[in-house]
Amino acid sequence: MSDDSTTPPSAPAPKPVKRSPLEKFSLSVRDAHTRFMTTGDVEALDLVVLAIVHDHQPMQVRAASPADLSNSAKLIGDLGFDSLALAEIVFFIEDLYQVSVSNEEIMAITTVGELRDFVRVKVAALLPSQT
């Protein structure tokens, strides 16, 4: 019979680390996200939204950089998105900012500028209070 008292107790299992949806994005995008979340800087939010659009844009028509995305560019049409790809962008934003978006709201978004403005409104509640 062996003496189990010499066996060290099992270490508790590590808690799973929640990975950031922005993990694969550049440091400047992750910093912009942090800046928005801590200061409410909407220009930082815009940078994140443009980076998300650029990341999801089909390769065959992808803009050279997020900064090359015009506010008037049509998501479906000019930028090569279809309704499923547009929904994927919105799901990503929902996950990142913990907001809810209806199908009707998704279908009403047609341009990069409308998406940017829509996200600004949706995440307004996350802004630090300006008292």
Is this structure's pTM higher than 0.85? Answer: no
**Among all chains, which residue has been given the structure tokens 């995008």?**
29
- Tokens coding 66: 């997020």
**Alpha-carbon separation of residue 57 from 50, 78, 113 (angstroms):** 10, 11, 15
Give the per-residue pLDDT at 99. 92
Residue 60 binned pLDDT confidence (cut-offs 50, 70, 90): confident
**Among all chains, which residue has been given the structure tokens 């189990």?**
4
The domains located in the chain, with CATH, are 25-126 (1.10.1200.10)
Average pLDDT over residues 110-131: 84
Average pLDDT over residues 24-37: 94
Q: What's the whole-number average pLDDT of the chain?
A: 85
Q: Which of 23-27, 55-59, 102-106 has the highest mean pLDDT?
A: 23-27
Give the per-residue pLDDT at 131. 46
- Tokens coding 64: 């050279």
- Tokens coding 6: 């010499």
pLDDT at 83 over 90: no
- Per the model's pLDDT, the better-predicted residue between 61 and 110 turns out to be 110
Residue 29 binned pLDDT confidence (cut-offs 50, 70, 90): very high
Average pLDDT over residues 13-41: 86
